Structure 1
Amino acid sequence: MPTYTYSCKSCGHVFDAKQSFSEASLTECPECHGELKKVFGNVGVTFKGSGFYKTDSRTSSAPAAD
């Protein structure tokens, strides 16, 4: 189950909540009952190298020459 970080627009309270993908986002701060916003962090995927091509993982489909 993913953990989401929320921040209150009114009081600045920041907290984490475990929610399933099908649950609606939280809208009310548990401290002051103000409006919440979801905090998005960096994506955990990094692509490094000279480049990625669609043929990198494919095997040759040409028949072998006799």
Structure 2
Amino acid sequence: MPIYEFECGGCGHRFDRLQKMSDPDPTGCPQCAADQVQRKVSAPSFRLAGSGWYETDFKKDGDKKRNLAGDSAAPAPAPAPAPAPAPAPASSD
């Protein structure tokens, strides 16, 4: 269940509430009982970042883990071409 943040428009009191997505939002402020409560948009308390996210981190040691962050089927970049050999000096025979 997600945690939602609410703010009272009357007194400015902010509070969090753990509720189902289908539950109705509270209408009254728990501090002043005003009917001016609105849901706030807030950032989550965690961030999923980096290249270490696997299909599941709970597989057995023998099972192969797939990295979902990158495309393993992408071809590797081609190496740079080798420089051309220098021309041989002209001989004076």
More strand per residue = 1
Deviation, 1:42, is 4.3
What is the match of residue 26 of structure 2? 26
What is the match of residue 36 of structure 1? 37
Q: RMSD over aligned Cα, in angstroms? A: 1.9
What is the match of residue 3 of structure 2? 3
Cα deviation digits, residues 6-64 of structure 1 (max 9, x gap) = 0000000001000001101111100101110100024778xxxxxxxxxxx8xxxxxxx
CA distance in 2, matches of 1:7, 1:30: 10
CA radius of gyration, larger in? 2
CA distance in 1, matches of 2:3, 2:43: 14
Count of aligned positions: 48
Query: Which 5+ residue runs of structure 1 have no aligned equivalent?
Result: 46-56, 58-66
Structure possessing the higher relative contact order (Cα contacts under 8 Å, 6 or more residues apart): 1
Q: Give TM-score, length-normalised by structure 1.
A: 0.61
Query: Which 5+ residue runs of structure 2 have no aligned equivalent?
Result: 49-70, 72-93
Q: Give TM-score, length-normalised by structure 2.
A: 0.44
Alignment partner of 2:15: what SS?
strand
